[in-house]
Amino acid sequence: MSKYILAIDQGTTSSRSILFDHHGIPVAQVSKEFRQIYPKPGWVEHDPLEIWESQLSTIRAVIEKASAKASDVAAVGITNQRETTILWDRSTGKPVYNAIVWQCRRTAAICDDLRDSGAEPMVLE
């Protein structure tokens, strides 16, 4: 019988998994940090495969920590880090480039130009 809810939290600096019982009480929690990549001043990136592997490892570890099996999980909830963007190759399923993190400032000049041109209200809509 499925008796747990798995919460997957993909944050800006770490991956986290929490297993809750059917009363909503946390049974086990595991988190794993991953690298922050700063290729230029103001730029912030993550390795998409490192994100994926860190999240998978927390899922496996939290289930093991609770002495549970994957079939014991009745539902999964997922949260993620804001507007971080990853492009994937359609045919290979592999990332094209590092994830561009929501904190990255590489488009700040474009945003400034949009605001200065009066487009800010349209963009905010």
**Architecture in CATH of 4-124:** 2-Layer Sandwich (3.30)
Task: With a cut of 70, say whether residue 123 has pLDDT above it.
Answer: yes
Element (H, E) at 108: helix 108-116
Q: Which residues contact 63 (CB under 8 A, 6 or more apart)?
A: 6, 19, 28, 69, 70, 72, 73
Q: Are 15 and 29 in contact (CB under 8 A)?
A: no
Task: With a cut of 70, say whether residue 116 has pLDDT above it.
Answer: yes
Q: Are 50 and 35 in contact (CB under 8 A)?
A: yes
Percent of the chain with pLDDT over 90: 89
> Which pTM value belongs to this model?
0.85
Over the chain, what is the mean pLDDT? Answer: 94
DSSP letter (8 states) at residue 30: E
pLDDT by residue (tens digit) across 31-67?
999 999 999 999 999 999 999 999 999 999 999 999 9
The residue type at 18: I
Q: What is the rounded average pLDDT of the residues 16-44? A: 97
